[in-house]
């Protein structure tokens, strides 16, 4: 039921915004989206998924085989159990109606017989594993990713596992992002152009493990996290909601029911209208930091809300740090257990109710 409500809310938001600001699908997407019409299994295109052979060309060929014109658009891309080594970027740029599915059950439920489920492995340092970019036209319906494990090959550094740029409406479910510099980068570089946005990305029950930054959001508008785990180490950030000084900032992100474990900062936000609700924070040096761009622009640092969150520490951690420049932050019904400092409030107009 929770998933159904989330999907309908997502679709309603897309439809409403389309009416308000005139968003449209690209000219190629004139048919009906149907992920059942076309199915491509990467093995049929020559992928080995043996952790040593570079499968980039085979996987890209499978991606490109899914129809983008005609009466039926889109299809299902199947990733088998095993480790598919990818030494170059897999491009979903400009593609719509594709559902990428790992055929190995829930990838984050690891087992000795299949430790990483259906895995795509970034094999080179400073690589972007998956690119979803609609910069040649803005505002299309991006792909869906389900039951995958996206990871970095041992010894490789500087990897971004997924980069989303100027793309609307993506769903990422039951997928693990591990051992990267950045798990997911959401960048709305065209947000100053009429209709340009990166918005309504929905993450449901995903897992982020040992990434420098789990999710790095720059000038995006309205991603949602529903459940999932974010596990970080010292020096790492779970979610970073950022913006550019003198330009727009990220706004209206929603983080519901997630579990954060470890890291220097679990959520570091300069966004506006960010909702952090029913989340659990354990062993984060600073669980949530709310601040504004300097100088503050648009909604940066304004109107954020934390409600019914739980903060658990070992006696030295900080729960919430509302920094100078943050305006009208609301903290409602926070629960603190063995924290060094529950809350630091240096903001303006902060409302505390049961916090």
On whether residue 125 sits in a domain, the answer given is yes
Between residues 109 and 259, which one has the greater pLDDT? 259
Find the Cα–Cα–Cα–Cα dihedral 64, 119, 146, 176, rounded to 10°. Answer: -130
What is this structure's pTM?
Answer: 0.85
Q: What is the pLDDT of residue 354?
A: 82
| 47: in domain | no
Please indicate, yes or no, if residue 28 is contained in any of the structural domains: no
pLDDT of 115 reads 61
Task: Indicate whether 170 belongs to any domain.
Answer: yes
pLDDT at 15 over 80: no
**Would you say residue 132 lies in a domain?**
yes
- Per the structure, the complete domain to which residue 297 belongs is given by 2-12+83-94+119-353
Q: What is the pLDDT of residues 139-176, one digit of tens each?
A: 457 789 999 999 999 999 999 999 988 777 788 999 99
| Residue 177 pLDDT greater than 90, yes or no | yes
Is there a domain that residue 37 lies in? no
CATH number of the domain where residue 339 is located:
2.160.20.10
pLDDT category, 270, cuts 50, 70, 90? confident
Number of independent structural domains in the chain: 1
User: Which residues lie across from 307 on neighbouring strands?
Assistant: 277, 332
pLDDT tens across 210-245, in order?
A: 999 999 988 766 788 999 999 999 999 999 988 654
For residue 95, what pLDDT is reported? 86
Partnered with residue 254 across adjacent β-strands are 224, 275
User: Are the beta carbons of 55 and 86 closer than 8 angstroms?
Assistant: yes
59 belongs to a structural domain: no
Query: Does residue 145 belong to any structural domain of this protein?
Result: yes
pLDDT at 201 (0 to 100): 75
**DSSP element (H, E) containing 165:** strand 160-165
């Amino acid at each position: 039921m929770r998933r159904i409500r989330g999907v309908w809310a997502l679709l309603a938001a897309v439809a409403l915004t389309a009416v308000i600001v005139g968003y449209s699908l690209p000219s190629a997407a004139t048919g009906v989206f149907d992920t059942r019409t076309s199915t491509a299994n990467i093995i049929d295109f020559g992928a080995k998924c043996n952790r040593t052979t570079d499968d980039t060309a085979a996987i890209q060929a499978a991606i490109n085989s899914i129809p983008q014109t005609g009466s039926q658009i889109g299809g299902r891309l199947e990733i088998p159990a095993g480790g598919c080594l990818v030494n170059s970027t897999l491009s979903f740029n400009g593609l719509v109606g594709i559902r990428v599915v790992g055929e190995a059950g829930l990838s984050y439920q690891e087992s000795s017989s299949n430790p990483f489920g259906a895995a795509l492995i970034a094999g080179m340092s400073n690589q972007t594993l998956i690119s979803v970019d609609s910069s040649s036209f803005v505002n299309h319906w991006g792909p869906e990713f389900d039951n995958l494990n996206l990871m970095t090959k041992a010894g490789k550094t500087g990897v971004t596992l997924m980069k989303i740029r100027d793309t609307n409406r993506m769903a990422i479910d039951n997928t693990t992002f591990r051992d990267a510099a950045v798990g997911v980068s959401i960048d709305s570089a065209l947000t100053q152009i009429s209709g340009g946005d990166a918005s309504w990305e929905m993450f449901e029950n995903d897992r982020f493990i040992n990434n420098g930054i789990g999710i790095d959001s720059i000038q995006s508008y309205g991603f949602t996290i529903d459940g999932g785990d974010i596990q970080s180490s010292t020096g790492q950030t779970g979610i970073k909601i950022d913006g550019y000084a003198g330009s727009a900032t990220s706004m209206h992100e929603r983080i519901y029911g997630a579990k954060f474990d470890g890291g220097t900062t679990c959520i570091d936000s300069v966004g506006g209208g960010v909702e952090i609700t029913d989340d659990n924070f354990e062993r984060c040096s600073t669980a949530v930091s709310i601040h504004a761009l300097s100088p503050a622009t648009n909604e940066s640092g304004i109107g954020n809300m934390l409600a019914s969150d739980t903060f658990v520490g070992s006696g030295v951690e900080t729960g919430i740090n509302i920094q100078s420049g943050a305006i009208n932050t609301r903290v409602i019904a926070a629960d603190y257990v063995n924290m060094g400092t529950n809350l630091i409030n240096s903001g303006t107009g902060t409302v505390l109710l049961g916090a």
